[in-house]
C-alpha cells in the first residue's frame, strides 16, 4: 500500500529521533515540587523566547487556554473571543464548565479581530452588564485558515484593552507559524499581549504539551489552576525534553510547511468546482470549498481516505488540509493527483 499522506492536522507529526533520544535521557524530578530540571529548563527557555517573566508547561493547548482564562476571569464575567475561535468552538464549553464566565463571540475579518469591534465589545460599567474580564486573540487563526493577526492590529487592540484595564490573552497554538510567516519574532508578537499559550505538539512536532507564559504573579496563580485541573505532572521532564528541541530546532523549518500549503492551495484552486481563498493561506492550513463540485464533503473525505490521503471535513462544504513535517512536497503532489482523480470518480 502507498504511503499514507496525513493532512488532517499538524498534531499528527511524529517526534524526531533526537526527540526520542532526549526523552530517554532526560534528567527528571518531581515537577509538582518544582524539582524537574528539564521542565524548569523548558519553562525558562520559553519565557525568554517570549519575553515574559515566567512560563508554565501544561499538558495541552486547551489546558493552557483554560488555565489562563480561569486565572483571570471569574463567575459572572465575560470573555471576548473571536466568533469561531478554538476557545469558543473546540474546547467543550470549558469556560462555562470551569469558570462560569460567558464568552462574547466577536466576528473577526478572516479570523483577525478588528480593534473597532473590540472597543465596542468591551462593556461599560453598568449594573445590567457583565464585566469584561479578558480579550482572547487566536494567532494563527485555525478555522479562518491559519491567518496571522498583523502586529499593528495587536498594537491597536493592546492599547484599547489597556485603556479599559482589560488583559489580553493570545491563543498562540501556532504562534511560531505566525512568527515565521510574518518575519516578526515570537517575542515581538507576544509583547502586545499579557498572557500567551503556544503548542509544542503541532508543527513543532513534540509529542505532548504546550506552554503558558506571562508575568510571574500570573504564572504563580496559573500553577495552582493547572494543579486544580489535574495538570500537575511528576517526572514530566520526559515530555519537556522534546519540547526543548521543538523550540531550538524545529521553528525555522515551519517555512517549508508554509510553502507546501501555498503550493497545495494553488493546485487545489485550479481544480474544477474547488475554491480556496488564497488570501487566507498565510501559514500551514488550507481550507478548500468543494461546493462547486456538488460532491458531499463526507463522501469526499472518505474517498480520499480510501486512497491514502487524510483530511478533515471542516464545514458543510469545506475540507481542511494542514501541511506538516511528515508530508513532503512530493507527497503534496501525490495528494493533489489523488484529489483530482477522486473528484472525477465521485462526481
Question: Which spans of this chain sit near ligand TLP (rule: CB under 6 A)?
Answer: 9, 11, 60-62, 86, 90, 138, 142, 171, 173, 199, 210
Residue 140 vs 317, nearer CB to ligand TLP: 140
Residue 86 vs 223, nearer CB to ligand TLP: 86
Q: Which residue is nearest to ligand TLP (CB)?
A: 61
Long-range contacts of 316-321 (CB under 8 A, 24+ apart): 317/289, 317/290, 317/291, 318/287, 318/288, 318/289, 318/290, 319/287, 319/288, 319/290, 320/8, 320/285, 320/286, 320/287, 321/7, 321/261, 321/264, 321/268, 321/285, 321/286, 321/287, 321/288
- φ, ψ for residue 243, nearest 5 deg: -65, -35
Residue 9 vs 280, nearer CB to ligand TLP: 9
Q: How far is the CB of 202 from ligand TLP (least distance, A)?
A: 7
Residue 261 vs 343, nearer CB to ligand TLP: 261
Q: How far is the CB of 240 from ligand TLP (least distance, A)?
A: 15
Residue 141 vs 343, nearer CB to ligand TLP: 141
Instruction: Please report, to the nearest 10 degrees, the dihedral formed by the alpha carbons of residues 85, 88, 89, 91 taken in order.
Output: 110
Residue 142 vs 282, nearer CB to ligand TLP: 142
Instruction: Please report, to the nearest 10 degrees, the dihedral formed by the alpha carbons of residues 143, 66, 37, 13 taken in order.
Output: -20
Q: How far is the CB of 254 from ligand TLP (least distance, A)?
A: 15
Q: What is the largest CA-CA distance in the chain?
A: 65
Q: How far is the CB of 124 from ligand TLP (least distance, A)?
A: 30
Q: How far is the CB of 104 from ligand TLP (least distance, A)?
A: 18
Residue 167 vs 231, nearer CB to ligand TLP: 231
Q: How far is the CB of 41 from ligand TLP (least distance, A)?
A: 21
Q: How far is the CB of 62 from ligand TLP (least distance, A)?
A: 3
Residue 210 vs 283, nearer CB to ligand TLP: 210
Q: How far is the CB of 71 from ligand TLP (least distance, A)?
A: 17
Amino acid at each position: 500500500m502507498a504511503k499514507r499522506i496525513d493532512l488532517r492536522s499538524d498534531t499528527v507529526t511524529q517526534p524526531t529521533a533526537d526527540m526520542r533520544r532526549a526523552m530517554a535521557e532526560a534528567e527528571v524530578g518531581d515537577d509538582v515540587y518544582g524539582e524537574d530540571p528539564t521542565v524548569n529548563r523548558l519553562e525558562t527557555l520559553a519565557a525568554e523566547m517570549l519575553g515574559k517573566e515566567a512560563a508554565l508547561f501544561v499538558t495541552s493547548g486547551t489546558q493552557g487556554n483554560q488555565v489562563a482564562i480561569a486565572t483571570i476571569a471569574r463567575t459572572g464575567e465575560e470573555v471576548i473571543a473571536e466568533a469561531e475561535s478554538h476557545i469558543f468552538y473546540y474546547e467543550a464549553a470549558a469556560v462555562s464548565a470551569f469558570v462560569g464566565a460567558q464568552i462574547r463571540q466577536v466576528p473577526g475579518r478572516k479570523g483577525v479581530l478588528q480593534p473597532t469591534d473590540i472597543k465596542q465589545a468591551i462593556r461599560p460599567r453598568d449594573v445590567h452588564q457583565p464585566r469584561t474580564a479578558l480579550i482572547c486573540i487566536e494567532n494563527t487563526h485555525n478555522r479562518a485558515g491559519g491567518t496571522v493577526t498583523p502586529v499593528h492590529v495587536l498594537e491597536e487592540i493592546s492599547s484599547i484593552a489597556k485603556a479599559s484595564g482589560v488583559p489580553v490573552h493570545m491563543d498562540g497554538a501556532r504562534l511560531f507559524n505566525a512568527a515565521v510567516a510574518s518575519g516578526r519574532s515570537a517575542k515581538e508578537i507576544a509583547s502586545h499581549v499579557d498572557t500567551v499559550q503556544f503548542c509544542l505538539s503541532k508543527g513543532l512536532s513534540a509529542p505532548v504539551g504546550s506552554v503558558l507564559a506571562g508575568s510571574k504573579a500570573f504564572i504563580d496563580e496559573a500553577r495552582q489552576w493547572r494543579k486544580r485541573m489535574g495538570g500537575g505532572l511528576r517526572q514530566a521532564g520526559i515530555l519537556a525534553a522534546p519540547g526543548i528541541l521543538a523550540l531550538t530546532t524545529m521553528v525555522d523549518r515551519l517555512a517549508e510547511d508554509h510553502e507546501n500549503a501555498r503550493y497545495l492551495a494553488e493546485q487545489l484552486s485550479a481544480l474544477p468546482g474547488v475554491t480556496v481563498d488564497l488570501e487566507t493561506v498565510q501559514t500551514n492550513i488550507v481550507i478548500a470549498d468543494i461546493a462547486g463540485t456538488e460532491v458531499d464533503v463526507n463522501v469526499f473525505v472518505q474517498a480520499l481516505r480510501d486512497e491514502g490521503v487524510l483530511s478533515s471535513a471542516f464545514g458543510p462544504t469545506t475540507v481542511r488540509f494542514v501541511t506538516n513535517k511528515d508530508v513532503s512536497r512530493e507527497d503534496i503532489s501525490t495528494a493533489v493527483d489523488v484529489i483530482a482523480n477522486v473528484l472525477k470518480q465521485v462526481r
